[in-house]
A and B are shown apart, each in its own frame.
Chain A
Amino acid sequence: MSNKLIGLAEAAAMVPDGATISFGGFTTQRHPMAFIHELIRLRRRNLYLFGHSPGGDWDILIGAGCVKRVELAYEADEAFNTIGSRWRLAVERGQIEWEDYSNFAMVSRFTAGAMGIPFMPIRSLLGSDVLTKEVLTPEQRLADPRTASKKLEVMNSPFNTGEKVVLVPAIHTEFAVIHVQKASLNGVVRIEGQSFADVQQALCADTVIVTAEEIVDEDQLREEPERNLLPYFAVKHVCHVPYGSHPYAVFRYYDYDPRQLKIYHDGSDDDATFQQYLDKYVYGVKNHAEYLQVIGGEERLSGLKADPVYGYSPNLKRRRLD
């Protein structure tokens, strides 16, 4: 049995400037935040991000100046902040390149990549400006072969010419990083709750890095193989990172942290206060363990612990925090 366990800093250091990468999770849950903070501390630049509905994981990376180009459907923390402020500002100031799709289109693109086929037909997007308006120019696309040569293509079904479908291009990334509940040393992965598009994202990447709340015995995961959706041989590295998604939730482990999200969102639309956030919670700490102390340590984290029946914290204060 191979042991794929490595340290978080070592794993993050493998991602070079300019890499294409996708992160697991969805708006407020299971983003690999500890890994993302490492990338920011490493001052990575010119990353190409691919995602469906990321949230603060992308927002803080964009704000820290790590990102050159994104292809996405949505970026916000939903009811916690209905638009990611650093994403909004980066677009409005012309500091980022992007292309708009929908969630279904992006997931279909990951799926095509995971299946080893060049595109996927879908029935969505017809009639919309997402279909007809491109943001990236043909020159921008041609300059980097890691971006698809065109945004999409409409075709009539070859089997019934009255039926229109939209072909969306496969995604292939150099890295995928997903944060999960449980993993074994050799990369058997257990995702609990909603799986989002983590499996497809992992399977269209060259190098898959898994950060896990718990490292568990492989035999234990093999008792229920139907719950382990990602082939272990597709996983390159495993990192043990408890509370690795904070301030976002991990089903059955801990809830999102409304206090920390409020601190982030209250300050993220202002350059100076956003910089203060980075200085305090990212640059000002050496590693994830120190970050967990700075946000309030055991006292804060114990209040987020998931109830074993619900899988979240049913009495968590989410609006009036004082």
Chain B
Amino acid sequence: MAEYSYTLTELMAVTAARQIKNGEVVFAGTGLPMLGAMLAQRTHAPDCCIIFEAGTMASRLAHLPMSVGDPRVMRGAATAAGLSEVFTYVLQAGRVDVGFLSGAQIDRYGNINSTSIGADHRHPKVRFPGSGGSGDIACLAQRTAIIALHEKRRFPAKIDYLTSPGWLEGGDSRHEAGLTRGGPHVVVTTKAVMKFKPVSHEMYLESYHPGLTAQQVSDDTGFPLDTQDAIETPIPSQEELRILRDVVDPDRIFLK
């Protein structure tokens, strides 16, 4: 038990930030990925290049954006262009090292649904916004990190609509579908951190957040989860928390 406190959102933001290596090209979306990318830029990865699909590259964010089309993403950017330049020359060409994704449902191979709930996609029970750039990032980034709320219904055995391809049906199926690179590397949730086995590409439990057990995480997951090597999730440092609270999100836009 640490002698200082932190919230779940802070733990997730710090865990997301630690997925970014210095010098990497990062494709960030709204919310926790932006918190993580801004924190990484101010801690261990000052030379990471933050890209927003609406058209900016290498932003040095001064204020948290509320969208990737927010004028705030222009701050300190090295290049401003449009979606076509970012998707074509950067993402499709293989120049994005890590992309962040989220969604309403995630299965054991890291396939994501952000389109709709219901058996018939023409008459869905619940509609979500749609792919946006997520499906493109899932197909074309060198690796992806998934951020999600951890509830059993959000991690079902089968998702209703496959918006963003993960490891598809595991094994070589992603490659066989014509996706020549990439795939999900890590899943950071409100309860745990999960990764994928090397050959089968099945999700396993890497760590459970402090205060929880591996069994609790497994119970809240809708498919079997290998928990045998799981450890406790490393906690944020005081320095990371200070930067997150005082510099990255002093107005508490996303931090709780």
Residue numbers of A with Cβ under 8 A of B are 25-30, 52-53, 55, 72-80, 82-84, 87-88, 91-92, 94, 100-105, 107-108, 111, 122-130, 133, 135, 154, 163-164, 193-200, 249-252, 255-256, 306, 310-312, 314, 317-319
Please give me the residue from chain A that is nearest to B169 by CB atom.
A127
Shortest Cβ distance from residue A287 to the other chain B in the assembled complex, whole angstroms = 26
Shortest Cβ distance from residue B31 to the other chain A in the assembled complex, whole angstroms = 6
Among B63, B87, B178, the residue within 8 A (CB) of A314 is B63
Please give me the residue from chain B that is nearest to A133 by CB atom.
B121
When the two chains form their complex, are residues A255 and B71 in contact, meaning their CB atoms are under 8 A apart? yes
Shortest 10 CB-CB contacts between residues of A and residues of B: A164-B178, A26-B69, A194-B55, A78-B67, A74-B132, A127-B165, A127-B177, A104-B136, A195-B82, A76-B129
- Chain B residue contacts of A27, Cβ below 8 A: 54, 67-69
When the two chains form their complex, are residues A194 and B75 in contact, meaning their CB atoms are under 8 A apart? no
| Bound form: Cα–Cα A72–B124 in Å | 17
| Bound form: Cα–Cα A102–B180 in Å | 19
A-B contact count (CB 8 A): 220
| Bound form: Cα–Cα A28–B247 in Å | 24
Interface residues on B, range: 35 or more
Q: Can you list, as one digit per residue, whether each of B112-132 has a CB less than 8 Å from chain A (1) or not (0)?
A: 000110000111111111111
B203 at the interface (CB under 8 A from A): no
Among B53, B56, B125, B252, the residue within 8 A (CB) of A103 is B53
Most buried by A among B63, B84, B126, B140: B84
Shortest Cβ distance from residue B210 to the other chain A in the assembled complex, whole angstroms = 27
Among A101, A133, A193, A319, the residue within 8 A (CB) of B161 is A133
Q: Sample 17 A-B pairs with CB under 8 A, ordered by A number.
A: A26-B83, A73-B131, A73-B132, A75-B129, A94-B123, A104-B91, A122-B92, A126-B165, A127-B174, A127-B177, A129-B162, A194-B74, A194-B82, A195-B81, A197-B82, A314-B62, A319-B251
Instruction: Provide the main secondary structure of the chain A interface.
Output: loop
Shortest Cβ distance from residue B182 to the other chain A in the assembled complex, whole angstroms = 11
| Bound form: Cα–Cα A82–B127 in Å | 11
Among A73, A126, A306, the residue within 8 A (CB) of B179 is A126
- Chain B residue contacts of A195, Cβ below 8 A: 55, 80-82
Extra contacts, 15 of them, besides A94-B123, A125-B136, A127-B174 (Cβ < 8 A), are A27-B68, A53-B132, A53-B133, A76-B129, A79-B254, A80-B67, A83-B127, A100-B131, A128-B135, A128-B164, A129-B162, A130-B135, A196-B69, A255-B71, A319-B252
